[in-house]
């Protein structure tokens, strides 16, 4: 449960939406809501969740981190 006036409570979500806006949304003009939803879904599934380096993973992409985790069998970041 979130608490009022906690500046760190929404930091992860705010960071994600900031990246989404800077890397995708501000560069395009969508004609329909469905077009925007499809493009945002593709961004999340094909880039953000797989290719984009993440600070929490020691600046590795999630795919690279999963590979290291499968090879070494433990947390590597």
Give me the pLDDT at residue 15, please: 85
What torsion, rounded to 10 degrees, do the Cα atoms 12, 15, 16, 20 define? 170
The per-residue pLDDT for 4 is 67
Do 62 and 46 meet the contact criterion of CB atoms below 8 Å apart? no
pTM of the model: 0.64
Residue 48 pLDDT: 86
- For residue range 59-77, what is the model confidence (pLDDT) as tens digits? 999 889 988 989 888 766 5
Q: Hey, what are 59's tokens?
A: 């600046």
pLDDT tens digits, residue range 7-66? Answer: 667 887 888 899 899 989 888 999 999 999 999 999 999 988 888 898 888 899 988 998
- Supply the pLDDT for residue 7: 67
């Amino acid at each position: 449960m979130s608490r009022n006036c906690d500046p760190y409570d929404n930091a992860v979500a705010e960071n994600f939406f900031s990246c989404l806006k800077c890397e995708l949304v501000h560069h395009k003009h969508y004609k329909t809501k469905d077009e925007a939803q499809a493009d945002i879904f593709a961004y999340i599934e094909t880039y953000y969740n797989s290719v984009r380096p993440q600070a929490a993973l020691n600046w590795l992409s999630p795919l690279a981190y999963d590979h290291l985790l499968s090879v070494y069998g433990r947390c590597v970041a």
